[in-house]
Amino acid sequence: MGAIVLLLATGSSKPNKKTLDESITLNKQDKIPYGSYVAYQDLKYIFPGATISENKYEPGYWDSLSKYEDKQALIILSTRFIADETEMKKLVTFAENGNDVFIASGYFSSIAKEMMSCEITGSYNSLLRPAEYLDDSLRLNLNNSLFGNPKQFNYPGRTSSNYFSSFDKALTEVLGYNQNSQPNFIRLRAGHGNFYVHTDPFAFTNYFLLYGDNVDYYEKALSLIRPDVKRVVWDEYYLLKKENRSQANRNNNESKRGWLSALMNVQNANGDKSFGAAFVVLAAILLLYVLLNMRRKQRYIPIVKKPSNDSLDFVKTIGRLYFDKADHKNLCRKMASFFLDHVRSKYKLPTGNLDSTFVNKLLEKSGAEAYNTNEIISFINSFESETNINPAQLIQFYNQLEIFYNTTG
């Protein structure tokens, strides 16, 4: 119940009555049920070795990504992925250079579906309908052959009910299904990179991730992104983009972006760029004038409010969730998942089979204490079979992990 309480907003009819805020924003700053605050904040734990940033610019004009480097990831969460042909070509080129593009949306433009060689079917193939007409009770499954341990993730909230009705089997790998065993999560290989495409953005909202242990679905889905990724960028461009922006507007923006460059390169009869030189001199004089005036006039210094600690709010949210539920086994599962991800990222060891051979290789590469490491692996292999995990076992497991991290640096 802790997750539900966090997502309630006070109603206007009675001071003590609380109602669920049904607004669908998918915004990373929104803590309402259908915002994506939890998903964005969890990125730093899923990718501890990568820089996390956001983007609001169209493909190709990013300020946090490079078109020429690899080991980057772009995550797009939107109700409507309305990419045009130019944007799709830039996204494909970005992926082909050795990067990952993760897209979760309830609607895809015809150009996007054509270039991804797929067809999508569902409830009007759109999220433009009012919330009360959207389906309830989302249920999802991951591909057992890839993730093992068959498990269904669900919550009593909204769903877009979309799925892939056809796709190119030579290029596509199915990663997950909806409650009707219809594919709704796929991977398309593009050069040295990948496209990961999901047809239900509600699976990445606060409500879904904070319900039960559904955050495990999110972490497994994003674990497909290469573990040595250097940059992870959360895209908001498609949350803000208008569908009917014309190509003429694009060209106009590009011409505005380049007029100064054209003037700077104008040459006179002698081949000198006189305008460019004059512009540099003018800019230097203007800068000198500003600096002199700053020294001569005392400006009003505004009071800067102390910034809110979003990371602390996130920790409090997750902590309150587990405190209310007292689900020690679930917490152990997430601590174990983080530990194994650390081993894969730092020591490049596969964690599919936690046997004595794995332990010996881990001891050899990490230099950790043998007894403590054996205790950790033994507990990870056995705690799932136990009905309940008591607080003493949880604390002991935590202390063993801290010893490992402190010993190995």
119 and 184 housed in the same domain: yes
Query: For residue 22, what pLDDT is reported?
Result: 84
262 and 197 share a domain?
Answer: no
The confidence score (pLDDT) of residue 322 equals 66
- On whether both 236 and 255 belong to a single domain, the answer is no
DSSP string of 133-165?
Answer: GSEEEEEEEE-HHHH-S--EEEEEEEE---EEE
In 192-273, alpha helices (H): 206-209, 215-222, 237-240, 247-264
The Cα–Cα gap between 376 and 324 comes to 26
Global pTM reads 0.57
- Considering the domain boundaries, does residue 305 fall inside one? no
* Residue 201 and residue 89 in one domain: yes
Whether residue 204 is contained in a domain is answered as yes
How much is the pLDDT for 138? 86
Q: Are residues 226 and 138 in the same domain?
A: yes
pLDDT at 256: 44
- Same domain? For 235 and 275 the reply is no
Q: How many domains does the chain have?
A: 3
Specify whether 161 is located in the same domain as 286: no
Separation CA 358–CA 362 (nearest Å): 6
Angle (CA) 233 245 120, round 5°: 65
Tens digit of each residue's pLDDT, the chain (409 residues)? 334 334 444 344 444 556 778 889 999 999 999 999 999 999 999 999 999 999 999 998 998 898 889 999 999 999 999 999 999 999 999 999 999 999 999 999 999 999 999 999 875 444 545 555 566 678 999 998 888 777 899 999 888 889 999 999 999 999 999 988 999 999 999 999 999 999 999 999 999 999 999 999 999 999 999 989 999 999 999 988 764 443 444 444 444 445 566 566 665 555 566 677 788 888 889 888 887 776 656 666 778 777 766 665 765 676 667 656 777 888 888 888 888 898 899 899 998 888 989 989 988 988 888 898 899 899 888 887 887 888 888 888 889 888 988 888 7
Answer yes or no: do 279 and 376 share one domain: no
* CA end-to-end span of the chain: 38
Pair (271, 174) in one structural domain: no
- Per-residue pLDDT at 83: 94
Is 62 in the same domain as 184? yes
Parent domain of 376: 328-408
Burial 346-374 (b: 16+ CB within 10 A, else e): eeeeebeebeeebbeebeeebebeeeebb
Q: What is the pLDDT at residue 54?
A: 94
129 to each of 91, 108, 237, 356, how far by Cα in Å? 28, 15, 21, 55
**Is residue 309 in some structural domain?**
no
Residue 170, phi then psi, degrees to nearest 5: -75, -25
Last residue of a domain, one of 219, 240, 261: 240
pLDDT number for residue 2: 36
Residue 389: its pLDDT value, please?
82
Strands 18-20 and 8-10: antiparallel
Same structural domain, 59 and 207: yes
